[in-house]
Structure 1
Amino acid sequence: MDPTANKLYNKISKYDSFASKEVINKAFIISKKAHANQYRSSGEQYFTHPLAVANVLIDMKLDSSTIITALLHDVVEDSDVSLDLIKNEFGEEISKLVDGVTKLSKLDIRFGSAQAENFRKLLLASSDDIRVLLVKLADRLHNIRTIKGIQNDKKRSRICYETLEIFAPLAERLGINAIQRELEDRCFAELNPETRDSILKRLKLIYSQDEFNIPIITKELENFLKKNNINCMISGRVKSSYSIWKKMQFKNLSMDQLSDIMAFRIIVDDVNECYTTLGLLHQKYSAIMGRFKDYISAPKRNGYQSLHSSLIGPKKTRIEVQIRTSVMNEFALNGVAAHWIYKEGAKSSETIRYKWVRELIQVLEESSEPEEFLENTKLEMYNDQVFSFTPKGNLIILPKGANAVDFSYAVHSEVGNAAVGAKINNKNRLITTEIKNGDQVEILTSKNGFPDPKWVNSCITGKAKSGIKRFIKNREIKEFLHLGTALLQKEYRQQNKRMHEKSLIKVINEFGLSDLQELLIEIGKGNINSRNVITFLYPDKKKVSPTLPSLKKPSSHDSVKLKGVIPGMAIHYAHCCHPLPGERIVGIVTTGKGITVHALDCFSLEKFNDMPEMWLEISWEREGDTFHKGSLVAVLANEPGSLAEITKIISTNNGNISNIQVISRDIDFYKFNIDLEIKNINHLNQIIAAMRLSQFVENVERGKD
């Protein structure tokens, strides 16, 4: 066994009876071999880093699986060692831990402090096991301890800023105060060495005046409270240089103005004694105005509870006192990861509190089965959120299950409206692909792009859904406006007149509309017939020929020739089936009405089955040059451009739209009745066939009244 690996094992085995000498030695050898030809910026062999990380975690008394993970945490990213190899050699648990640390390492990107809180959330959300975060923190701690080995000043500064913004607060929230303070102090020394030295010199001067300040003040406070029958434990400490600097910056104060360079923690028996103790201290010593915080009645977001007050205490020294119960103190020491987890509408009893490192270490020391405990120590914070990045590093937070469409609208509505695809982690993906934690997402846009109405069913954010619906509605209004304008202009042309808004004011008022645009939209929707508008404006004006003057409108007096009709009888064409030249027909003779021509497959003929005397066998003699009324029922995709394409198809195939009416609509589809002017059944079938080739047409059939 390698001597260094043996030393590691000896340290671990003192608190973890499940540690395996063979497994630790195997991890040591694999890591050392994988990093054999790699060197750090300082020139040291790279293997010194995973070894140091392992020792940091041993000092925290983490289990052997965590130590093995520390030894292997860089091998997947930096060598040809695969996760499959790790799984085969060390099992599923360690493979998952190594994979978790590897993924977190890939999340280290450059961004501003505005994104720091979100990035901390991402670290938490991306970690299924607390030990992944502990390895990551130990990894960062050793990198900061050896940061002088990096020659590039800007790189050193970037790493330190990132550490102060992300990892030190993360350590604080996980309850690892020792790592937090060391990270802060070392980064502060790198970024602001002169300021730090100045604060340290100032602190030294303050305490050189009376080196027993803290013990003397502690004793005086204890005696005073015990005389007043308060059972308590008191401890004092000096704030770190970095915490002092933060307060000086945040509150714009000098060191002499800071009242909490020294802090004293007073632990009492219950909540009532917290307030009693506070009252006694305020009677005995002068309180500094504006320096009282009641975190018992109004706890911090992370659940922290305590009374804080600043006093002119013993020896006329400014001090801060923190008064809490032992339960509150235990919670403050154990820490919480990030925030309380609240479910919407949940009661306080349903909230989940996470006690972390100190509880973990206590269990490791006392439990005979620490692995079982660690196996269930899972992170469940933010499991309803997904954290992803733009190519520039801006972090976008989405609900779990969100896809690239949601992402596009979260970036900006204009991006969503122009989206045509997405690149996720530099690979082309469908725009409806679900986003995972840590994904880098680039939305591909086009000036001709527009949202697909079907996206409404796949996206989950309100912003995306409303953005899609709003865009489609606006495009739909434009289409109806365009169609209504075309239909009305056509009617005007048939009357040899020009359309003027002034002449339409009467119509607008008659229908109770607001303006010309609304009138045109209603015509486009089929709610108002364009012919009725003309009839209203010109009641005495007779209709003139349609667009094609060589063809005639159908009428009972000027129709195509029919074989078998009774001379002198009036001929009508049934509105239920709109019979067309070229299809088989039959006549129904009705007294006082004449002959009604039906298509042979018309459903209305069923009511004449028992009246054969009314049936008249007729057929088309010739088609002639007459236009006939045809009807279509079309189901179109609810997408921009769909209606425009259908009108174009009909026009291209020499059909003429006389009316369009919306029958029904939903998120995905519109159902239209389209009345056409066509020559014969073959003409209608030609139009139907052409429409069925369109990507916008879900279904189209011949219409029946």
Structure 2
Amino acid sequence: MMRQYELVERVQRYKPDVNEALLNKAYVYAMQKHGKQKRASGDPYISHPLEVAAILTDMRLDEATIAVALLHDTIEDTSATRDEIDDLFGQDIGALVEGLTKIKKLDLVSKRAKQAENLRKLLLAISDDVRVLLVKLADRLHNMRTLGHVPPEKRARIAEETMDIYAPLAGRMGMQDMRDELEELAFRYINPEAHDTVTKRLADLSAKNRDLIRTIEQDFSALFANHKLEAKVKGRQKKPYSVFRKMQSKSLSFEQLSDIYGFRIIVEDIAACYQALGIVHTRWSVVPGRFKDYISTPKQNDYRSIHTTIVGPSRQRIELQIRTARMHEIAEYGVAAHALYKDDLKGGEDLLSRDSRAYSWLRHTIEQLSEGDNPEEFLEHTKLELFQDQVFCFTPKGRLIALPRGATPIDFAYAVHTDVGDTCVGCKINGRIMPLVTRLNNGDEVEIIRSGVQVPPPAWEEVVVTGKARAAIRRATRAAVRKQYAGLGFRILERAFTRAGKTFSRELFRPVLHRVGQKDVEDAIASVGRGELSSQDVLKAIHPEHADERAPMSKAAADEGWFNLRSAAGVIFRMPGLGKKDKVKSRIARKTNGAGKGGVGEPDDALPIRGVDQNAIVSFAPAGAVPGDRIVGIMEPGAGITIYPIQSPILTRFDDQPERWIDIRWDIDEATKTRFPVRILVNALNEPGSLAEMTDVIAQRDANIRALSTLRIASDITELMMEIEVWDLKQLNQLLMQLKECACVSTATRLYE
């Protein structure tokens, strides 16, 4: 275990004026607080924060960050408090330690939700100070190095979390060395068989080509020396996980891989980078399509380098990375290479926020993802945003947009601006109109075609690959559903207030929201549309003197289909001395002479329904209803209106709840006719050919069998339930009559709930 003086000496090597008192105090405090605690390995717990601090000294970080590393588990695992740390070490260090503390004692529904909430808290802390990220990654790296000591089930979860979140996060922050090691360690536990196989194959290849890397390094060095260019050449063999990932993504065998070796060429300045590139390309053949210039177009994590692949010495395919020493430092340490802490900067202020594009990206991403999503959605979207592989596309004005591989023009539109994504209806890629599901390639110029009336379809969520796009689509979908419920709720309130001789307005509602337990007018009105809030409760809140009546509730729309709302909802109230069905029929009878186009005997002022619409909030009862039926709507707890034929026996359940009844009428569009499902019960002879005869009749009548089930089989008779689709009531009645005429059919009747 590292001693106190050894830690101070490690920092002094790169920061001679180190604040020794701070490090000593943090060391002693952590030692005292962790006391006799042990790790799963049996080592003293204090060994863990010391190793985390040692990892950070390799990144040449300041003493304040090293002190945070020593203290990072004290609030979570000891009796230490935030106030105590603030008093001893200052509020800056206290805030950093708290940012690294996992959430405790939360009533969360799942381990995944807890993981998601911890990640949200961590990323929000990172957005305030990047040192939280650096300490957290070092903490995770040491935990992964000692993962073999934890139970197998916990080991697998930690390894997967590392592969999904922390390794990509390190990569996005430009810390490639740390990403590589995290991936290697996670790969060892997630897929040990593949890890062992690839590692053995690489070891065999390394033994076989022991002198190859040295020979190629010498060839390159001699070539650059001949051209009087100072360059350091360093060869390396790819790591097992990098090899395995390429085999998986390209569907290649190990033998088919031709670029297992890579070489880095470090030169003095940017001009020398391009000079080295010219020398190499002049000497050896280039592999087409394998050239990338990340100097002129840096990655979002600040990575800058020239990549090229050549058929080099010994006819080997060789990957080259050409960069300056400063670029190499940023490529290895990422944001840590930017973390310059100066004595003259107050409170340990860092220059990272001005220097690092990676950190700016992270803060912007966190701001986007933290708006209104639940923790598990936040986790999902963050994983999407951490994908490393990118494509670079351009707007017609030349603005560069970086996206994950597999991104579509929809992702591009949301990357430009959320409003552009929400109003996107089409696109042009390189001047040609293309589908919105087209995958974008490097260098594509994308023009988004917009419409002011567009609302993003929910199905887009399955198409996009960026977290920002997915989050925005979900928000837009929720807003659209809320708007629809608010529209229905407003019409219900208008009708309820009109019947009471009052006038409803949002202005009257706003001052009394607290009386109905609401904070926002639109949310409250939408609650009325969903049936969660009674129109009578709203009426009573605004006009306390009004006599109380029971209020409507609503029901979650059934699975059978959704229907479009086109006019105001009219709530039916019981007429004195009449049963419910008699009341409805009497009302319909009074409207017979002026019936609407929905069907004879239906009220003109009722709510019209038409055809299937996935965004509406009206559904049929399971037994169905067809045009020509006299129908009513029932609101029940949930999300909409359920439509029943007036003959449905289930309506007796609502005899004592007249306020839940709504006038409904048909509004059929003859230009776009639609079949409607309905259930029939058939008793037929139990003999060969009976079913064929019945289905032939159904086909002749232009109906369609949607489902068929056997309810009872006797020795002579089979009872069948059929769900069929018909155009209207007339067709259904004709079909039932023709089925009854079949010699094999005893009875054929329509089923009601």
Q: Please report the TM-score for the alignment, with normalisation by the length of structure 2.
A: 0.48
SS across alignment from 1:102: coil
Counterpart residue type for residue 358 of structure 1: A
1:357 corresponds to which residue? 336
Question: Are 2:591 and 2:602, in contact at CA under 8 Å, matched by a contact in 1?
Answer: no
In structure 2, relative to structure 1, the CA distance for the partners of 1:40 and 1:482 (3 Å cut) is: same
Q: Is 1:449 the counterpart of 2:532 in the alignment?
A: yes
Residue 131 (1) aligns with residue 131 (2)? yes
Are the counterparts in 1 of residues 234 and 263 from structure 2 also a CA contact under 8 Å?
A: yes
* Partner residue, 2:319: 320
Whether the 8 Å CA contact 1:416–1:451 is kept in 2: the answer is no
Offset of residue 41 of structure 1 = 2.2
* Residue deviations 1:409-444 (CA, integer Å, cap 9, x gap): 77797799899xxxxxxxxxx9869xxxxxxxxxx9
Residues 527-572 of structure 1, C-alpha deviations (whole Å, 9 max, x = no match): xxxxxxxxxxxxxxxxxxxxxxxxxxxxxxxxxxxxxxxxxxxxxx
SS at 2:158 equivalent: helix
Amino acid of the structure 1 residue aligned with 2:201: R
Q: Quick one: structure 1 residues 407 and 145, their matched pair in 2 at CA, closer, same or farther if it must change by over 3 Å?
A: same
Distance in 2, matches of 1:12 and 1:270, equals: 29
Q: Secondary structure at the residue paired with 1:33?
A: helix
Counterpart in the other structure of 2:183: 184
- 1:133 maps to a residue whose letter is L
Q: Does 1:32 align with 2:31?
A: yes
Farther-moved stretch of structure 1 (15-24 vs 95-104): 15-24
Question: Which amino acid in the other structure matches residue 590 of structure 2?
Answer: R
Match of 1:236 in 2: 235
- Trace 1:395-434 onto structure 2 (pairs within 5 A): 395=379
Q: Aligned AA for 1:500?
A: T
> Which of 230-239 and 46-55 deviates more?
230-239
Pair 1:63–1:111, CA change in 2 (3 A) = same
| Corresponding position of 2:404 | none
Distance 1:518 1:233 in 2: 87
How far, CA to CA, are the matches of 1:505 and 1:445 in structure 2? 29
Q: Mean alpha-carbon deviation: is it higher for 27-36 or for 97-106? A: 97-106
The answer for the alignment partner of 2:252 in structure 1 is 253
1:158 to 2:241 alignment: no
Task: Write the distance in 1 (CA, Å) between the matches of 2:593 and 2:279.
Answer: 85
The answer as to whether partners of 2:198 and 2:240 remain within 8 angstroms in 1 is yes
Following the alignment from structure 1 to structure 2, what is the Cα–Cα distance between the partners of residues 161 and 51? 25
Equivalent residues in 2 for 1:536-555, closer than 5 Å: none
Report the RMSD for the aligned CA atoms in angstroms: 5.4
- Give the direction of change, closer, same or farther, for the CA distance of 1:179–1:41 in structure 2 (3 Å limit): same
Report whether the alignment pairs 1:148 with 2:148.
yes
**Quick check: 1:260–1:319 contact (8 Å CA) kept in 2?**
yes
Question: After the TM superposition, which residues 250-289 of structure 1 pair with which residues of structure 2 at under 5 Å, given as runs?
Answer: 250-266=249-265, 281-282=280-281, 284-289=283-288
Partners of 1:478 and 1:9 lie apart in 2 by 76
Paired with 2:84 and 2:345, the residues of 1 have a C-alpha distance of: 25
1:384 aligns with 2:467: no
Residues 497, 3 of structure 1: alpha-carbon distance in 2 compared, 3 angstrom cutoff: closer
- Deviations 1:456-502, CA, capped at 9 Å, x for gaps: xxxxxxxxxxxxxxx9xx9996645458999xx99x999x9731276
CA distance in 1, matches of 2:104, 2:226: 56
Counterpart AA for 2:101? T
Asked if 1 retains the 8 angstrom alpha-carbon contact of 2:338 and 2:352, the reply is no
Alignment match, 1:203: 202
Question: CA 1:411–1:250 in structure 2 vs 1: closer, same or farther (change >3 Å)?
Answer: farther
- Change in Cα spacing, 1:304 to 1:482, as seen in structure 2 (3 Å) is same
Once the two structures are superposed, residues 157-188 of structure 1 have per-residue CA deviations (whole angstroms, 9 ceiling, x without a partner) of: 11111112211222233333332232222222
Matches within 5 A, 1:10-159: 10-16=9-15, 19-103=18-102, 123-127=122-126, 128-150=128-150, 152-159=151-158
Distance in 2 (CA, whole Å) between partners of 1:263 and 1:132 is 33
Query: Aligned ranges for residues 557-596 of structure 1 at < 5 Å?
Result: none
Cα distance between partner residues in 2 of 1:250 and 1:106? 41
**Is the 8 Å Cα contact of residues 92 and 347 (structure 2) preserved in structure 1?**
no
Contact 2:595 2:603 in 1 (8 A): no
Contact 1:238 1:262 in 2 (8 A): yes
Q: Which residue of structure 2 lines up, in the alignment, with residue 170 of structure 1?
A: 169
Question: What letter corresponds to residue 367 of structure 2 in structure 1?
Answer: D
Question: How far 1:235 moved relative to its partner?
Answer: 3.1
Deviation of residue 119 (structure 1)? 9.4
Q: Which amino acid aligns with 1:165?
A: D
Task: Measure, in 2, the Cα distance between the counterparts of 1:477 and 1:23.
Answer: 71
* 1:512-541 superposed Cα distances (whole Å, 9 cap, x missing partner): xxx98886679xxxxxxxxxxxxxxxxxxx
Shift of 1:315: 1.0
Q: Equivalent residue of 1:309, what SS? A: strand
Structure 1 residues 298 and 33: CA distance shift in structure 2, 3 A? closer
Q: Secondary structure at the match of 2:591?
A: coil
CA distance in 1, matches of 2:379, 2:156: 22
The superposition leaves residues 16-46 of structure 1 with CA deviations (integer Å, 9 ceiling, x where unpaired) of 4554444434333332332225332223332
Q: Secondary structure at the match of 1:175?
A: coil
Give the match's secondary structure for 1:42.
Answer: coil
Residue type at the aligned position of 1:155: K
Structure 1 gaps of 5+ residues are 336-355, 420-429, 434-443, 455-470, 509-514, 523-639, 642-651, 653-705
CA contact (8 A) 1:485 1:520 kept: no
Cα distance, 1:87 vs. partner?
A: 0.8
1:500 maps to: 592
CA displacement 1:97-127 (0-9 Å, x = unmatched): 1111115899999659xx99x9988744431
User: Secondary structure of the residue that 1:55 maps to in structure 2?
Assistant: helix
Change in Cα spacing, 1:450 to 1:319, as seen in structure 2 (3 Å) is farther
Shift of 1:319: 1.0
The one-letter amino acid paired with 1:70 is A
Moved more, 251-260 or 289-298: 289-298
Contact 1:120 1:170 in 2 (8 A): no
Q: Which amino acid aligns with 1:139?
A: D
Q: What letter matches 2:532 in structure 1?
A: G
Give the secondary-structure state (helix, strand or coil) at the position aligned to 2:590: coil
Farther off after superposition, 97-106 or 26-35: 97-106
Aligned partners of 2:143, 2:473: CA distance in 1, in Å?
37
Rounded to whole Å, the distance in 1 between the matches of 2:479 and 2:305 is 43
What amino acid is the match of 2:194?
T
1:502–1:227 Cα change, 3 Å:
farther
Per-residue deviation, 1:132 = 1.0
Instruction: Say how many residue pairs are matched.
Output: 445
Given residue 142 of structure 1, which amino acid in structure 2 is its aligned partner? Answer: H
CA distance in 2, matches of 1:517, 1:218: 89
Q: Is the 8 A contact 2:86 2:93 kept in 1?
A: yes
Cα 1:58–1:266 change in 2 (3 A) is: closer
Q: Which moved more, 1:88-97 or 1:291-300?
A: 291-300
Q: Distance in 1 between matches of 2:251 and 2:167?
A: 23
Separation in 2, partners of 1:327, 1:33: 41
Q: C-alpha distance in 2, partners of 1:321/1:91?
A: 47
Q: Distance in 2 between matches of 1:406 and 1:103?
A: 30
Task: Give secondary structure in 1 for the equivalent of 2:3.
Answer: helix
Q: Which moved more, 1:33-42 or 1:157-166?
A: 33-42
How far the C-alpha of 1:396 sits from its partner, in A, is 7.1
Counterparts of 1:279 and 1:141, CA distance in 2: 39
Task: Give 1:243 deviation, angstroms.
Answer: 1.2
Greater relative contact order (CA < 8 Å, ≥ 6 in sequence): 1
Are the equivalent residues in 1 in contact too, given 2:596–2:604 (CA < 8 A)? no
| Partner secondary structure for residue 308 of structure 1 | strand
Q: SS where residue 321 of structure 2 aligns?
A: strand
Shift of residue 61, structure 1, vs aligned partner: 2.7
Q: Deviations over 1:209-233 (max 9, x none)?
A: 3423223213323444565676655
CA contact (8 A) 1:230 1:273 kept: yes
Larger radius of gyration: 1
Checking the alignment, whether the CA contact within 8 Å between 1:97 and 1:131 is kept in structure 2 is yes
The separation in 2 between residues aligned to 1:374 and 1:311, in whole angstroms, is 44
